[in-house]
Protein backbone atom coordinates (compact mmCIF):
# COMPACT_ATOMS: atom_id res chain seq x y z
CA UNK A 1 0.00 0.00 0.00
CA UNK A 2 1.15 3.39 -0.99
CA UNK A 3 -0.01 5.48 1.92
CA UNK A 4 -1.21 4.20 5.23
CA UNK A 5 -4.54 5.71 6.19
CA UNK A 6 -4.41 7.26 9.63
CA UNK A 7 -7.56 9.23 9.98
CA UNK A 8 -10.87 7.58 10.47
CA UNK A 9 -12.30 8.79 7.18
CA UNK A 10 -9.39 7.42 5.18
CA UNK A 11 -9.69 4.07 6.91
CA UNK A 12 -13.32 3.90 5.96
CA UNK A 13 -12.45 4.72 2.40
CA UNK A 14 -9.86 2.02 2.18
CA UNK A 15 -12.29 -0.43 3.68
CA UNK A 16 -14.94 0.64 1.19
CA UNK A 17 -12.52 0.05 -1.65
CA UNK A 18 -11.63 -3.38 -0.38
CA UNK A 19 -15.26 -4.29 0.10
CA UNK A 20 -16.05 -3.18 -3.42
CA UNK A 21 -13.09 -5.10 -4.78
CA UNK A 22 -14.12 -8.20 -2.84
CA UNK A 23 -17.62 -8.11 -4.23
CA UNK A 24 -16.45 -7.56 -7.78
CA UNK A 25 -13.63 -10.07 -7.71
CA UNK A 26 -16.12 -12.59 -6.39
CA UNK A 27 -18.63 -12.26 -9.16
CA UNK A 28 -16.52 -11.11 -12.10
CA UNK A 29 -13.14 -12.56 -11.30
CA UNK A 30 -9.88 -10.72 -10.91
CA UNK A 31 -9.02 -10.05 -14.54
CA UNK A 32 -12.54 -9.01 -15.44
CA UNK A 33 -12.76 -6.48 -12.66
CA UNK A 34 -11.57 -3.00 -13.59
CA UNK A 35 -10.09 -0.53 -11.18
CA UNK A 36 -12.62 2.00 -12.36
CA UNK A 37 -15.41 -0.36 -11.46
CA UNK A 38 -13.96 -0.86 -8.00
CA UNK A 39 -13.68 2.88 -7.45
CA UNK A 40 -17.18 3.47 -8.76
CA UNK A 41 -18.68 0.80 -6.55
CA UNK A 42 -16.82 2.17 -3.55
CA UNK A 43 -18.09 5.60 -4.53
CA UNK A 44 -14.57 6.95 -4.55
CA UNK A 45 -12.76 8.75 -7.35
CA UNK A 46 -10.35 6.54 -9.19
CA UNK A 47 -7.48 8.85 -8.31
CA UNK A 48 -8.16 8.28 -4.63
CA UNK A 49 -7.87 4.56 -5.10
CA UNK A 50 -4.42 5.08 -6.49
CA UNK A 51 -3.46 7.18 -3.53
CA UNK A 52 -3.83 4.17 -1.31
CA UNK A 53 -2.89 1.36 -3.64
CA UNK A 54 0.03 0.99 -5.98
CA UNK A 55 -2.08 -0.67 -8.65
CA UNK A 56 -4.80 -3.22 -9.20
CA UNK A 57 -2.71 -6.01 -7.81
CA UNK A 58 -2.08 -3.89 -4.75
CA UNK A 59 -5.79 -3.96 -4.07
CA UNK A 60 -5.84 -7.71 -4.43
CA UNK A 61 -2.81 -7.93 -2.19
CA UNK A 62 -4.49 -5.91 0.54
CA UNK A 63 -7.58 -8.04 0.24
CA UNK A 64 -5.48 -11.16 0.56
CA UNK A 65 -3.77 -9.66 3.57
CA UNK A 66 -7.15 -9.16 5.16
CA UNK A 67 -8.00 -12.77 4.45
CA UNK A 68 -4.66 -14.00 5.73
CA UNK A 69 -5.09 -12.14 8.99
CA UNK A 70 -8.43 -13.83 9.52
CA UNK A 71 -6.92 -17.14 8.55
CA UNK A 72 -4.16 -16.72 11.07
CA UNK A 73 -6.75 -16.02 13.73
CA UNK A 74 -8.58 -19.15 12.76
CA UNK A 75 -5.41 -21.18 12.94
CA UNK A 76 -4.55 -19.83 16.33
CA UNK A 77 -7.97 -20.61 17.66
CA UNK A 78 -7.91 -24.06 16.15
CA UNK A 79 -4.53 -24.90 17.58
CA UNK A 80 -5.08 -23.27 20.93
CA UNK A 81 -5.84 -26.68 22.39
CA UNK A 82 -3.70 -29.74 21.93
CA UNK A 83 -5.32 -31.07 18.83
CA UNK A 84 -3.20 -34.17 18.73
CA UNK A 85 -5.02 -35.44 21.77
CA UNK A 86 -8.45 -35.18 20.21
CA UNK A 87 -10.32 -38.15 18.81
CA UNK A 88 -10.30 -38.27 15.03
CA UNK A 89 -13.93 -37.26 14.63
CA UNK A 90 -13.55 -34.15 16.72
CA UNK A 91 -10.28 -33.33 15.07
CA UNK A 92 -11.80 -33.42 11.62
CA UNK A 93 -14.66 -31.24 12.78
CA UNK A 94 -12.29 -28.70 14.18
CA UNK A 95 -10.04 -28.72 11.15
CA UNK A 96 -12.65 -28.49 8.48
CA UNK A 97 -15.72 -26.69 9.81
CA UNK A 98 -14.20 -23.30 10.57
CA UNK A 99 -12.46 -23.18 7.23
CA UNK A 100 -15.59 -24.04 5.32
CA UNK A 101 -17.35 -21.30 7.22
CA UNK A 102 -14.54 -18.90 6.47
CA UNK A 103 -14.67 -19.76 2.82
CA UNK A 104 -18.38 -19.19 2.61
CA UNK A 105 -17.98 -15.79 4.24
CA UNK A 106 -15.14 -14.68 1.97
CA UNK A 107 -16.58 -14.44 -1.49
CA UNK A 108 -13.44 -13.47 -3.35
CA UNK A 109 -11.14 -15.85 -1.56
CA UNK A 110 -11.43 -18.66 -4.03
CA UNK A 111 -11.00 -16.45 -7.06
CA UNK A 112 -7.92 -14.73 -5.69
CA UNK A 113 -6.25 -17.83 -4.34
CA UNK A 114 -6.89 -19.98 -7.32
CA UNK A 115 -8.06 -18.23 -10.39
CA UNK A 116 -6.22 -14.95 -10.52
CA UNK A 117 -3.05 -14.58 -12.48
CA UNK A 118 -1.20 -12.55 -9.92
CA UNK A 119 2.42 -11.56 -10.04
CA UNK A 120 5.26 -13.75 -8.92
CA UNK A 121 5.64 -12.04 -5.59
CA UNK A 122 2.06 -12.67 -4.70
CA UNK A 123 2.05 -16.14 -6.07
CA UNK A 124 5.03 -16.94 -3.90
CA UNK A 125 3.32 -15.57 -0.83
CA UNK A 126 0.36 -17.80 -1.62
CA UNK A 127 2.65 -20.75 -2.12
CA UNK A 128 4.34 -20.12 1.23
CA UNK A 129 1.00 -20.05 2.95
CA UNK A 130 0.06 -23.25 1.23
CA UNK A 131 3.21 -24.93 2.42
CA UNK A 132 2.58 -23.79 5.98
CA UNK A 133 -0.89 -25.29 5.87
CA UNK A 134 0.43 -28.50 4.43
CA UNK A 135 3.08 -28.74 7.13
CA UNK A 136 0.41 -28.36 9.75
CA UNK A 137 -1.74 -31.06 8.24
CA UNK A 138 1.33 -33.20 7.93
CA UNK A 139 1.95 -32.81 11.68
CA UNK A 140 -1.58 -33.85 12.44
CA UNK A 141 -1.36 -36.93 10.29
CA UNK A 142 1.89 -37.95 11.85
CA UNK A 143 0.42 -37.47 15.30
CA UNK A 144 -2.60 -39.58 14.46
CA UNK A 145 -0.75 -42.25 12.60
CA UNK A 146 2.88 -42.39 13.70
CA UNK A 147 3.24 -45.56 11.68
CA UNK A 148 2.99 -43.78 8.37
CA UNK A 149 6.30 -42.98 6.71
CA UNK A 150 7.06 -39.25 6.77
CA UNK A 151 7.32 -39.08 2.97
CA UNK A 152 3.94 -40.60 2.50
CA UNK A 153 2.48 -38.38 5.15
CA UNK A 154 3.56 -35.38 3.17
CA UNK A 155 1.79 -36.64 0.08
CA UNK A 156 -1.28 -37.34 2.13
CA UNK A 157 -1.20 -33.82 3.49
CA UNK A 158 -0.92 -32.38 0.03
CA UNK A 159 -3.82 -34.47 -1.14
CA UNK A 160 -5.87 -33.54 1.89
CA UNK A 161 -5.35 -29.86 1.25
CA UNK A 162 -6.30 -30.28 -2.39
CA UNK A 163 -9.42 -32.17 -1.42
CA UNK A 164 -10.48 -29.47 1.01
CA UNK A 165 -9.99 -26.92 -1.75
CA UNK A 166 -12.16 -29.06 -3.98
CA UNK A 167 -14.72 -29.20 -1.23
CA UNK A 168 -14.78 -25.42 -1.12
CA UNK A 169 -15.49 -25.21 -4.81
CA UNK A 170 -18.17 -27.85 -4.49
CA UNK A 171 -19.83 -26.09 -1.61
CA UNK A 172 -19.77 -22.82 -3.49
CA UNK A 173 -21.50 -24.55 -6.39
CA UNK A 174 -24.13 -26.29 -4.25
CA UNK A 175 -24.46 -24.10 -1.16
CA UNK A 176 -27.69 -25.80 -0.11
CA UNK A 177 -25.94 -29.15 0.19
CA UNK A 178 -22.97 -27.80 2.05
CA UNK A 179 -23.56 -29.81 5.19
CA UNK A 180 -23.97 -33.16 3.53
CA UNK A 181 -20.92 -32.63 1.36
CA UNK A 182 -18.82 -31.61 4.31
CA UNK A 183 -20.01 -34.64 6.25
CA UNK A 184 -19.16 -36.88 3.34
CA UNK A 185 -15.69 -35.42 3.08
CA UNK A 186 -15.08 -36.05 6.73
CA UNK A 187 -16.19 -39.63 6.32
CA UNK A 188 -13.80 -40.05 3.46
CA UNK A 189 -10.91 -38.61 5.44
CA UNK A 190 -11.79 -40.74 8.39
CA UNK A 191 -11.81 -43.92 6.39
CA UNK A 192 -8.58 -42.86 4.73
CA UNK A 193 -6.80 -42.16 7.99
CA UNK A 194 -8.06 -45.27 9.67
CA UNK A 195 -7.21 -47.58 6.84
Among DNA, a second copy, none, partner that 126 touches (CB below 5 to 8 angstroms by kind): none
Shortest Cβ 63–DNA spacing (Å): 14
Q: What is the CA radius of gyration of the chain?
A: 19
Q: From the CB of 57, what's the least distance to DNA, in Å?
A: 7
Inter-CA distances, 138 with 1, 73, 154, 188, Å: 34, 20, 6, 17
Cβ–Cβ < 8 Å for 64, 18: no
Alpha-carbon distances of 49 from 56, 64, 130, rounded to whole Å: 9, 17, 30
For a second copy, the closer of residues 73 and 179 by Cβ is 179
Quick one: DSSP state of residue 3? S
Using an 8 Å Cβ cutoff, are 49 and 35 in contact?
A: yes
Residues in contact with 181: Cβ distance below 8 Å, sequence separation at least 6, in sequence order: 167, 170, 171, 174
| Count of residues that bind DNA according to CB under 7 A | 24
Which of DNA, a second copy, none does 80 bind, CB closer than 5 to 8 A by kind? none
Name the minimum Å distance from CB 184 to a second copy.
5
CA-based end-to-end distance of the chain: 49
Nearer to DNA, 10 or 78 (CB): 10
- Based on the shown chain and the rule CB under 7 A, indicate whether residue 115 belongs to the binding site for DNA: no
Using CB under 8 A as the binding rule, the residues of this chain from 4 to 33 that contact a second copy are 28-29, 31-32
Q: CA dihedral in degrees (33, 39, 104, 70; nearest 10)?
A: 120
The one segment of 11-19, 38-46, 69-77, 153-161 that binds a second copy by CB under 8 A: 153-161
Q: Site residues for DNA, window 21-80 (CB under 7 A)?
A: 33-37, 44-48, 50-51, 54-57
Secondary structure letter of residue 32 according to DSSP: T
Sole binder of a second copy in the list 61, 106, 142, 185 (CB under 8 A): 185
Listed ranges 1-9, 55-63, 89-97, 148-156: which one lies at the site for a second copy (CB under 8 A): 148-156
Note whether 158 binds a second copy by CB under 8 A. Answer: yes
Enter the DSSP assignment of 175: G
**Footprint of DNA on this chain (CB under 7 A)?**
3-7, 9-10, 13, 33-37, 44-48, 50-51, 54-57
Amino acid sequence: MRRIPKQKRSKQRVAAILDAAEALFAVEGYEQTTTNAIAARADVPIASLYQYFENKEGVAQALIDRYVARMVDLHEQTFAVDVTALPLDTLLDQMIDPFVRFHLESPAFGHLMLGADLSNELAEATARMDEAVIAQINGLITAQRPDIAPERALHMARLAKAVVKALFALVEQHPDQAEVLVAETKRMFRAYLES
